[in-house]
Amino acid sequence: MVLNRLTFCWLAVVTIFLSDVSYSSVGRFRDVFNANMLLKSWRRKAEEQRVRLFDRLPQNIESKYTTPQVIANRGYTSETHHVTTDDGYILEIHRIPPKGTAKKVVFLQHGVLQSSGTWLVNPSSRSLAILLAEQSYDVWLGNFRGNKYSRKHATLNPNSDEYWKFSWDQIGNYDIPSVINYILKTTGQSKLSYVGHSLGCGVFFIAMIKHPDLNAKIELMIALSPLSSFANFNAIFRALTPFTDPIENFLRLLRTRVFLDSEVAGDRLFDIACEQTYSQARFCREVFILVCGPNRKNLDPALIPLMNANFMTGTSVAVIAQFAQNYNAGETFQAYDYGTEGNLQKYGSTKPFEYDLTKITAPIYVFSGAVDRIVTAKDVDWLLTKLRNLKGSTRFNEYNHLDFIWGTDVKERLYDKVLDLLSSS
């Protein structure tokens, strides 16, 4: 009995001791585990804070400004003018008047889906509009009908289908002549120099062909990545070009009037997807590169908010469709294709009207990019064979479609040459 009691006491002591050891081990393990989890949580929060602190894209207030506000923010005076075309569209154009006596008048015309602010995306040190103003040129910035600045009409409501029935042809036949004549009348000059980018060149060609008298009013035309033939278009959207007619008909069925207008929903989408962090901005830069051509190092991701603010500013479905039509047509520069019956009524032929580029007599200097996927080197080569008053041509091996307006090296590589050409013309 005593043995049993003694044995029980020893067993109890051993059990208590082992229980204490087991408890202490589990407790220590739990404390270490909790400490590790807490440390990981702190590290994660620190990394998130670092990303927020160092990856955060700086907010550029100019991305919320209008073109006149940007000009004022850069320290220059601006004027807003309104030009009514012969078919009733009211265009808003912006002017940076010269400081003192003007050297010459220069008109800058943006490309498709952009606005006058396109020329002010880059900092003043490499913005063509500001560089010209700094040298006392009388600078005028155009806006195509239908974009956010030029969405008015003498009689038509911009919410009506009728307002949006325009293509390259109407912009070239009405907008460009009206603006050129207005600027010359306002300034009292007999000639001006014209700098266009992409479609801003294509509509100039149309204007010179449809209005031969305008050629004598052009001191020099400088063509940056000039649109004409679209046969070798090489961007990702090329796969959609065979389906132009059904897509256009479908959009008409949906009563889609304005195409790619960021003011509908795009501004908020761009803000969320592209403009919060450098990582997002670099991703959106890759999208631009995919469409327009390589050379990513020449686009500053910090400028993405300003690029987006002046991109997708709206145009008609027909303007976009005409790109695909010209791609499908091969090496030509043709008017809008209304279909067999529509062409017969419009042109007296089953085929669309082809613009004869050899009729342009205005002096032209062409700049193009070897890796441009929108206006390819092959299409520019075709254009060069048609121009009868070509003053010269320069091709940049690394330039894509956007480098001409937003490139980080554009001042040294391109605009210095442009300024030399303008001063010597």
Among 138, 175, 337, 372, the active-site one is: 372
User: What's residue 248's pLDDT?
Assistant: 58
| Residue 388 pLDDT class (50, 70, 90 cuts) | very high
pLDDT of 354 higher than 90: yes
What sign does the dihedral 320-203-179-174 (CA atoms) show? negative
Q: What is the pLDDT of residue 57?
A: 84
d(CA 406, CA 197): 12
Ranking 229-233, 255-259, 355-359 by mean pLDDT, the lowest is: 255-259
pLDDT at position 103, please? 85
Give CA–CA dist 128/306, Å, rounded.
15
Task: Calculate what percentage of the chain has a pLDDT beyond 70.
Answer: 79
Weakest-pLDDT range from 3-17, 42-56, 153-167, 369-383: 3-17
Q: Each residue of 98-129: b (16+ CB within 10 Å) or e?
A: beeeeebbbbbbbbbbbbbbbbbbbeeebbbb
Active-site residue (options: 150, 198, 228, 368): 198
Identify whether 198 is a catalytic site residue.
yes
Of 367, 416, 420, nearest to 103 by C-alpha is: 420
Averaged over 208-236, what is the pLDDT?
A: 96
Residue range 46-69, pLDDT digits in tens? 445 445 556 888 888 999 999 999
Task: Please state which of the ranges 16-30, 211-225, 259-273, 331-345 shows the lowest mean pLDDT.
Answer: 16-30
- Is residue 401 part of the annotated active site? The answer reads yes
Q: How far apart are CA 308 and CA 216, in angstroms?
A: 37
14 falls in which pLDDT band (50, 70, 90)? very low
The mean of the pLDDT values for the chain is 86
| Cβ(116)–Cβ(94) below 8 Å | yes
pLDDT, residue 4, reads 46
Tell me how far apart the alpha carbons of residues 201 and 222 are, in angstroms, rounded to a whole number.
Answer: 9
Q: What mean pLDDT do residues 217-221 have?
A: 98
Active site residue 169: no
CB of 93 closer than 8 Å to CB of 141: yes
- DSSP character at residue 105: E
Q: What is the pTM of this model?
A: 0.84
List the beta bridge partners of residue 139. Answer: 96, 106
- Give the pLDDT of residue 13: 39
Other Cβ atoms within 10 Å of 381 Cβ, number: 14
Residue 176 pLDDT level (bands cut at 50, 70, 90): very high
pLDDT in tens, 393-424: 999 999 999 999 999 999 999 999 999 999 99
Taking a C-beta distance cutoff of 8 angstroms, is the pair 163, 191 a contact?
no
Helix, strand, coil share (%) of the chain residues, nearest 5: 55, 15, 30
The number of helices, as runs of H, and strands, as runs of E, in the chain is 16, 11
pLDDT value at 240 more than 90: no
In a 10 Å sphere around its CB, with 0-12 CB exposed, 13-18 middle and 19+ buried, how is residue 186 labelled?
middle
Instruction: Give 8's pLDDT tier (boundaries 50, 70, 90).
Output: very low
Tell me the residue type at 301.
P
Give me the helices (H) in 74-217, please.
Answer: 128-134, 168-170, 176-187, 199-210
Rounded distance, CA 55 to CA 157, Å?
44
Residue 265 has pLDDT above 60, yes or no: no
66-80, 140-154, 223-237: which has the minimum mean pLDDT?
A: 223-237
pLDDT at 133: 97
Q: What is the pLDDT of residues 127-170, one digit of tens each?
A: 999 999 999 999 999 999 999 999 999 999 999 999 999 999 99
Tell me what pLDDT residue 274 has.
83
pLDDT of 18 above 90? no
Tokens representing 221 are 């035309």
With 70 as the cut, is the pLDDT of residue 266 above it? no
Tell me which residue of 244, 252, 204, 211 sits closest to 225, measured CA to CA: 204
* Res 232 pLDDT > 70: yes
Q: Name the band, by pLDDT with cuts 50, 70 and 90, for residue 88.
A: very high
Tell me the one-letter amino acid at 293.
G
| 17 compared with 72, residue with greater pLDDT | 72
Cα distance between residue 231 and residue 367, in whole Å:
19
Span 350-377, average pLDDT? 97
Dist. CA 295–CA 289, nearest whole Å: 7
Q: Which of 94, 110, 153, 401 is catalytic?
A: 401
Quick one: CA torsion of 40, 41, 47, 51, rounded to 10 degrees?
Answer: 150
